[in-house]
Amino acid sequence: MEKFSDILLGSSKDKIRLLQILPRYQQPRIKPGLFSSLEIMKDYLFPSLSARTFSCTLKETSLKDHPEYFALSYAQGNSTPSERIYIDGMDVPITGDLKTALQHLQHETQVVNIWIDALCKDSDEKAKAEHVMKMKDIYQEATHVMVWLGPASDCSDELMACLERIGRSCEDLELTRITPAILFDLSKRPDEPYSRDVTAKLEQLYGKFDYLLPTVFPFEAYRAFLGREWWRSAGRQHLGVARGVTFTCGEKRISLDYLNNAHAFLLGYSLSALEGTADLEKGVEANLRWVVEALLEKASSG
């Protein structure tokens, strides 16, 4: 009997394998009397995330054909398979983290084409080595890269909403691609037109979010967010070539651009507040110093 691990890609180095996640919701033909109550019908049609089951198929294609697909980047975590999914009728063991990611990415009515390292590469050692050489091309050709940070926890929904608002506001003021180096240069060259323009826009944003910072912003959730395993994984190295990147945490999503904007804003605000003359409460000061240290460490590690 054929095993999933025995299925090999074609010999062409342009060949890749995509996982097609079939939609959860297929419009059923409901027979009279099939459901004894409205609640039972609702649970059948719209099951909870933990109750979802799904099937997938594998599709072999060539990068030369420019197929439309998502590339999934996620932290491997515990690599011991603890869950199972069905791929082309075969029972395939996967990790719990990957199963949760697939459940969140499954669409209700549309097939999702996705490339996943753990399921879309060959298992023999020679093929694995060749596959590593294709990783950059796979991320570069992907329609979009989805970064899976994990299920919602530690008030992550509230945090993602805050980061989205901040990131969008930065874009509205054309405050994008602000790096830590640029923020430090503002104080060194305060009279230059660029520095004056960026500083004025930042101060405008500080005023807009004065209801949020420095006391209301969910610093503990932000600490947990930056402490998630993906930030320490090797998956970060290929994001620079992607056409677009979206971070997913539970049901919430944020683009890489908005996330970087929010990081830069929080770093700039923290630096400004710590350098200011106003006395800060001990807890507030500790939070701001942590933001500076964490974001500078994140920037230095790529």
What pLDDT is recorded for position 43?
A: 45
Convert the pLDDT of each residue in 9-63 to its tens digit. Answer: 555 578 889 999 988 765 344 444 444 444 444 444 444 454 455 688 999 999 9
Report residue 252: phi and psi, to 5°.
-95, 145
* Residue 113, SS3 per DSSP: strand
What pLDDT is recorded for position 2?
A: 46
Token readout for 165 is 């608002």
pLDDT of residue 254 exceeding 60: yes
By residue range, what is the domain housing residue 42?
4-142
Cβ count near 252 (within 10 Å):
17
**Cβ-based neighbours of 105, under 8 Å, separated by 6 or more:** 21, 70, 72, 112, 114, 146, 148, 248
Residues 11 and 117 in one domain: yes
Phi-psi label, residue 281: left if phi above 0, alpha if psi -120 to 50, beta otherwise: beta
Residues 9 and 135 in one domain: yes
Residues 208 and 95 in one domain: no
pLDDT, averaged across the chain: 83
Q: Would 52 be classed as within a structural domain?
A: yes
Token readout for 140 is 């570069």
| 128 pLDDT tier (thresholds 50, 70, 90) | low
The amino acid present at 267, given as its one-letter code, is: L
Residues 165 and 223 in one domain: yes
User: What gap in Å lies between CA 277 and CA 286, rounded to an integer?
Assistant: 16
Q: Would 170 be classed as within a structural domain?
A: yes
Quote the number of domains for the chain: 2
Residue 67 near residue 15 (C-beta atoms within 8 A): no
Nearest to 73 by CA among 220, 299, 256, 300: 256
Residues 168 and 276 in one domain: yes
Convert the pLDDT of each residue in 181-221 to its tens digit. Answer: 889 888 888 899 999 999 999 999 999 998 888 889 999 99
Listed residues 113, 142, 171: the one ending a domain: 142
User: What gap in Å lies between CA 164 and CA 151, rounded to an integer?
Assistant: 18
With tokens 């590339």, the residue in question is: 71
Residue 246 near residue 146 (C-beta atoms within 8 A): yes
Residues 132 and 163 in one domain: no
Q: What is the pTM of this model?
A: 0.83
Residues 49 and 118 in one domain: yes
Residues 11 and 135 in one domain: yes
Q: Would 243 be classed as within a structural domain?
A: no
Pairing of strands 15-21, 112-116: antiparallel
Q: Would 240 be classed as within a structural domain?
A: no
Listed residues 89, 109, 142: the one ending a domain: 142
* Residue 115, SS3 per DSSP: strand
